[in-house]
A = this chain, B = another copy of it.
Amino acid sequence: MRTPDPDPNERDDDGTPRDPLGASFGAGGRPLGEGGFGSPTPDAAANPGWLTDVELAEARRRLPMLYVEALPVRTDGIGTVTEVGILLRATPLGAMTRTLVSGRVRYGETVRDALFRHVENDLGPMAFPMLPPQPAPFTVAEYFPIPGVSPFHDDRQHAVSLAFVVPVTGTCEPRQDALEVTWLKPEEAASDALSAEMEGGRGTLVRLALASVGALR
C-alpha cells in the first residue's frame, strides 16, 4: 500500500501480502522498522492495543502517510546525469503505467533505511545505489485524495513524499511482479508523452528531479 503503487492487493508495501509484525528497534541502535501495523499477529496477543486491518485503514484516512520516492539515475564519470530510470508496471486491469521507486516509511524506521529498502525492493539487490549523504529531499511531493489540491494525486490516501535522486551503479533487476526499468535520456523523461503515462502526477516529479540535477531544459 504505497503511493506509487495503486494496486495494494497486488503488491504490498513489504512485498508480502501483509506485514506480519510490529516495528521493533534492532540491535546497534538502528531501527529495523520491520512490518508496520495492522494485521493480527502473534504479537497482537501480547499487545492488546494492536490495530486491526480495519483500524489501520481508518487511521490512514485520518493521518498523512509518510513516503519516500526515488528517481534512479545513471551518471557519467564526473556526476552528470545521463539517463533516468522509470518503472513500468502492469496494473491489475492489464494497463501499463509508469512510476518511480517509492514506498512508505515504517514506524521506527529511518528515512534513509526506508529509501534504501524501497530502492532495493524495486531495483533488485544488484543495483548498488549511492544514496545521497544529504537528509534533505530535493522536493516534498504531497499527494491528496482529491485531485487539484496539488500536482500529485492518490485516491487512496493523503501521502507526503520525500523525493530523492539516487545514482545507481549496478544492474537493475526489478522483482517478479511485472516491474521493469526503462532507461531514458533526460529529455525523453521530461517529455509530455512520458508525463501523460505516469501515475498520480509523477511526470511533474520527474521534471522537478531533473531540474534539481540541472538536466531539464
Known: A54-B49, A113-B78. A108 touches B158 (CB 8 A): yes
Question: Does A185 touch B at the CB level, under 8 Å?
Answer: no
Tell me the dominant secondary structure on chain A's binding face. loop
**Complex contacts, A216 vs chain B, CB 8 Å:** 204, 207-208, 211
From B22, B111, B134, A142 is in contact (CB under 8 Å) with B111
Q: Tell me the count of chain A residues lying within 8 A, CB to CB, of chain B.
A: 75
Interface residues of A in 101-140 (CB under 8 A from B): 105-113, 115-116, 130-140
Give this chain's copy count.
4
Kindly state the separation between the CA atoms of A160 and B107 in the bound complex, as whole angstroms.
10
**Most central of A64, A113, A137 by chain B CB within 10 Å:** A64
* Interface set, chain A 145-163, CB cutoff 8 A to B: 146, 148-151, 158, 160, 162
Chain B: minimal CB distance from A205 (Å): 10
Give every chain B residue within 8 A of A148 (Cβ-Cβ). Answer: 29
Question: Which residues of B have CB within 8 Å of A75?
Answer: 131, 133
A38 interface hit (Cβ, 8 Å): yes
Is the beta-carbon distance between B162 and A112 smaller than 8 angstroms? no
- Given contact pairs A59-B59, A116-B78, A150-B110, A137 touches B134 in the complex (Cβ within 8 A): no
- Whether B63 contacts A25 by the Cβ 8 Å rule is no
Q: When the two chains form the complex, which single residue of B49, B105, B132, B137 contacts A64, counting CB atoms closer than 8 Å?
A: B105
Residues of A within 8 A of B (CB): 22-23, 25, 29-31, 36-38, 49-51, 54-59, 61-66, 73, 75, 77-81, 105-113, 115-116, 130-140, 142, 144, 146, 148-151, 158, 160, 162, 165, 167, 204, 207-208, 211-217
